[in-house]
C-alpha cells in the first residue's frame, strides 16, 4: 500500500450516477484532496449482461459536472492502466493461478437451484446464509460425475478457520467469525472474476491506501480481507459510510424523488451546492457552518468526523443550499450558468441587459430554472394585470390618482436610471394625498401587474421608459 493517500471511486456502469454513489465519490475525492493525495476513477464493468457504455458515459458526464476531477482513470489514463475491469481479465487469471497453486481455491459444481435451496433451509433455521462447503472436498469420482453431467463450475476460496477483524474508521473494529462468511466465489461460471476478488486485485495493483464506501459493503470486507491476508498484501484503511434515508426513514430510492445526479443539473441546481449538500450526508463540519464553498469543504474535511448513524436526505435543505450558493454568485457568472436555461421569449434588448435583469431577480432565485418564469412574468408582452391587483386598484379613487400622477412624472423624466426613477417616485409622493402601501402599491401594480414581486423601482430602468409608459397606460385603460 502506498504511503501517499490514494482513494478511488469504482462505479458499476449498470445505471446512471445516483445520489448514494455521488456521496461515496465525493468523500473519496474530498479526502484525497484534503490530504494532497490522488483520486482514482475505475469502472467495474465485468457484469457483461447489465453493464453498458451509455451508463459509463453518463457517470463520467455527471462527475465532470460536479467538478470531481480524477488523477487517474478513463479519459486521463495513468500508470496503472487499464482502469476498466473488463480489460484486466488476464491479471485476475494470473492471481487465480497463484491461489490454485497454493491449494486454497477449488471448483464448485453446485447449481443455482441447489444453492437457493441451501439458503432457504438456512433461513428457515435462522442460520447465517453462507455456502455449506458441499464441494470443498470432492473425490475424483464425484468431480468426474459432475463433469460428465456437463455441470458448470465456479472457483471458491477456501477460507481459513480463523476470524478476521475489519478495522474501520467509522465503525471501529468489527470481527467476523468464519462461520458467518463461508467459502466464497472468486471466479464465476462464465470465467469473470467476482466483485470481492477483483476489487482486491485492483486496489492492490493501484496502490489504494483508503477504501471509502457505503456500509452495505461492510459484509463484503471480511472476504476481501481473507484474500489480502492470503496473498500477503497490506490491506487499505477502511471507512464504511452510513446509509442515506429518505423522508420516510426508508433507504433512499427513486420513490423519494430524483436520485440520478444529472437530474439535479437539469432542475437548475449548481454543482457546488450539490457537493455541499452531499457532504453533509454523513459528515459534519468542525466549525458547524454548513454552507461551504468547495475549497472550504476540502480544507475542513476529516474522515474522523464521519457519522456512524444513518443520514436523512433533506430536499428542503438542499434547495436552501442551492439558493444560498446561487445568490452569492456575481451577476456575470449567473449569466454564464443560465446559458442552458435562458427563456426563448427573451428579446434582444433584454439579452444585452441580462446582468441588470439578474440583479432585479437575484433575491428570488433559488434555482437556475427560476429565471425564465420570472422573466416571462415581469417582462411579458402583452402586459397583463392580475385580477386581484386590478380589483384592489379599483377599490379607491385615490389609487387611480396615484397611477395618473405617476404616469405624468414618468413622461416628464429625462434620464431613466435608478436615481431618476427614485426621483419620479418622490415627485409622485409629493402630489398625492396618500402614503405607505396606498402610495407604493398602485405604482408597483402599474409596472409589474401584481401586488408582489421584485422591487419595481429596480425593474423600471431595465424595462426602459417606453415600456414603463405602455404598462402604465395599460393599467389606466383597464381601470377606465
- Give catalytic residues, as residue numbers: 254
Asked if residue 244 lies in contact with residue 22, where contact means CB atoms within 8 angstroms, the answer is no
Asked if residue 181 lies in contact with residue 251, where contact means CB atoms within 8 angstroms, the answer is no
C-alpha cell at 117: 435451496
Which whole-number Å values give the CA distances from 201 to 3, 60, 89, 194, in the listed order? 18, 23, 11, 11
C-alpha cell at 44: 467495474
Asked if residue 402 lies in contact with residue 409, where contact means CB atoms within 8 angstroms, the answer is no
The bridge status of strand 105-108 relative to strand 154-157 is: antiparallel
CB atoms within 10 A of CB 314: 15
**Half-sphere exposure of 255 toward its Cβ, with a 13 Å CA cutoff?**
7
**Half-sphere exposure of 258 toward its Cβ, with a 13 Å CA cutoff?**
15
Which whole-number Å values give the CA distances from 139 to 57, 104, 144, 256, 434, in the listed order? 48, 16, 9, 53, 104
The bridge status of strand 164-168 relative to strand 172-176 is: antiparallel
Asked if residue 35 lies in contact with residue 249, where contact means CB atoms within 8 angstroms, the answer is no
Asked if residue 356 lies in contact with residue 461, where contact means CB atoms within 8 angstroms, the answer is yes
DSSP string, 233-302: PPPPEEEEEPPEE-TTSSBP-GGGS--BHHHHHHTT--HHHHHHHHHTSSB--TT------HHHHHHH--
Query: Which segments of 395-455 does DSSP mark as H helices, in order?
Result: 397-412, 418-431, 437-448
**Which three-class secondary structure state does DSSP give residue 214?**
strand
C-alpha cell at 176: 467476523
Closest to 384 (Cα-Cα) out of 340, 431, 449? 449
Calpha distance 270→116 (Å, rounded): 46
Amino acid at each position: 500500500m502506498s504511503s501517499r493517500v490514494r482513494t478511488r471511486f469504482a462505479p458499476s456502469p449498470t445505471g446512471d450516477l445516483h445520489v448514494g454513489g455521488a456521496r461515496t465519490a465525493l468523500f473519496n475525492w474530498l479526502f484525497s484532496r484534503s490530504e494532497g493525495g490522488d483520486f482514482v476513477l475505475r469502472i467495474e464493468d465485468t457484469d457483461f449482461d447489465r453493464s453498458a457504455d451509455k451508463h459509463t458515459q453518463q457517470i463520467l458526464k455527471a462527475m465532470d459536472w460536479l467538478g470531481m476531477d480524477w488523477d487517474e482513470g478513463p479519459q486521463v489514463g495513468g500508470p496503472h492502466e487499464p482502469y476498466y475491469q473488463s480489460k484486466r481479465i488476464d491479471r485476475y487469471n494470473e492471481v487465480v493461478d497463484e491461489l490454485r497453486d497454493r491449494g486454497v481455491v477449488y471448483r464448485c459444481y453446485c447449481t443455482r437451484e441447489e444453492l437457493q435451496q441451501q439458503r432457504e433451509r438456512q433461513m428457515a433455521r435462522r442460520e447465517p446464509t453462507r455456502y455449506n462447503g458441499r464441494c470443498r472436498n470432492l473425490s475424483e469420482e464425484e468431480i468426474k460425475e459432475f463433469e460428465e453431467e456437463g455441470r458448470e463450475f465456479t472457483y471458491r476460496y477456501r477460507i481459513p478457520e480463523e476470524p478476521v477483524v475489519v478495522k474501520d474508521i467509522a465503525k471501529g473494529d468489527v470481527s467476523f467469525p468464519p462461520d458467518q462468511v463461508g467459502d466464497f466465489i472468486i471466479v464465476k461460471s462464465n470465467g469473470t472474476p467476482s466483485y470481492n476478488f477483483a476489487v482486491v486485485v485492483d486496489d492492490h495493483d493501484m496502490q489504494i491506501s483508503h477504501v471509502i464506501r457505503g456500509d452495505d459493503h461492510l459484509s463484503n470486507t471480511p472476504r476481501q480481507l481473507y484474500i489480502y491476508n492470503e496473498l500477503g498484501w497490506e490491506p487499505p484503511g477502511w471507512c464504511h459510510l452510513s446509509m442515506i434515508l429518505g423522508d420516510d426513514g426508508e433507504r433512499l430510492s427513486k420513490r423519494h424523488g430524483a436520485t440520478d445526479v444529472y437530474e439535479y443539473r437539469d432542475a437548475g441546481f449548481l454543482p457546488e451546492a450539490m457537493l455541499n449538500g452531499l457532504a453533509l450526508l454523513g459528515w459534519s463540519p468542525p466549525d458547524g457552518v454548513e454552507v461551504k464553498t468547495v475549497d472550504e469543504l476540502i480544507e475542513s474535511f476529516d474522515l474522523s468526523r464521519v457519522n456512524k448513524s444513518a443520514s436523512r436526505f433533506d430536499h428542503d435543505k438542499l434547495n436552501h443550499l442551492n439558493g444560498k450558493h446561487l445568490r452569492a454568485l456575481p451577476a456575470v457568472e449567473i449569466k454564464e450558468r443560465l446559458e442552458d436555461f435562458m427563456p426563448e421569449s427573451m428579446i434582444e434588448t433584454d439579452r444585452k441587459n441580462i446582468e441588470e435583469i439578474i440583479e432585479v431577480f437575484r433575491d428570488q432565485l433559488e434555482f437556475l430554472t427560476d429565471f425564465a418564469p420570472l422573466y416571462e412574468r415581469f417582462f411579458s408582452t402583452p402586459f397583463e394585470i392580475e385580477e386581484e391587483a386590478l380589483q384592489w386598484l379599483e377599490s379607491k379613487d385615490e389609487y387611480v390618482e396615484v397611477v395618473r400622477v405617476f404616469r405624468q412624472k414618468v413622461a416628464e423624466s429625462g434620464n431613466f436610471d435608478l436615481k431618476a426613477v427614485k426621483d419620479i417616485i418622490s415627485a409622485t409622493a409629493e402630489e398625492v394625498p396618500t402614503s405607505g402601501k396606498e402610495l407604493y402599491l398602485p405604482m408597483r401594480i402599474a409596472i409589474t401587474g401584481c401586488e408582489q414581486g421584485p422591487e419595481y423601482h429596480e425593474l423600471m430602468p431595465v424595462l426602459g421608459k417606453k415600456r414603463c409608459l405602455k404598462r402604465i397606460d395599460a393599467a389606466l385603460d383597464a381601470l377606465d
